[in-house]
Amino acid sequence: MAATEMSLMDEPDRLRVALTPIRRELLARLREPASAVRLAAELDLPRQRVSYHLKVLERQGLIEVVEERPRRGFVERVMRATANAFLVDPDVLASAADVEAGFHGIADRHAAEHLVEVAAGTVRHVTRMAAEADRQGVRLLTFTLEAEVRFAEPGDVHRFTDELAEAVSRVAARYDTPGGRPYRLVAGGHPAPRKEPE
């Protein structure tokens, strides 16, 4: 079975295991199957040290065995990462008190913190649903809309947001069907990052 596209890192212990520099490097290299012998040669490290880190990653379900090959006196295990990308749930990096006092419950549509909270929730939910769809061998049906708007003045941002909210409400009301599968639509905007001079 192929590796899933994305996996959400939402357990502190699992995240701590993955975050050491050597383990991050191993996870990156194990997007393609490889053995401890090959990885040790590529990284110029002792095989025993690489094998130790691979066992730790395997115990946490971050890598898996895809093949075992008999070699002279031992069995060579070929491993690969269980996902092509590991995404960190922002709540894992905060204490429970920080989460309670932080972004949760912010309802100001113009607050950067609210945008971050909604974006984090989107990452969390979509990653979990995509992994489950992957396990079932089906495709998660999503959509993404992107646009760039140049505002002349700050007040235009508020007027634009109000008009967009009204337009979205009208379209949502037209397609909303009792008993249909609910979808969550998230629209957010932020200043485009400045382009570095070439």
2-49: pLDDT as tens digits: 667 778 777 877 788 887 899 999 999 999 999 999 999 999 999 999
User: What value does the CA radius of gyration of the chain take, rounded to a whole number of Å?
Assistant: 22
Q: CATH code for 4-86?
A: 1.10.10.10
pLDDT for position 17: 82
Among residues 96, 118, 100, 120, which one has the least CA distance to residue 8?
120
144 vs 117, more confident: 144
Crossing angle for the helix pair 47-59 and 21-29, to the nearest 10 degrees? 80
| Whether 1 contacts 80, CB under 8 Å | no
Closest C-alpha to 58, from 35, 38, 41: 35
The answer to whether residues 18 and 9 touch, using CB atoms and an 8 Å cutoff, is yes
Identify the residue with better confidence: 122 or 50. 50
Prediction pTM value: 0.61
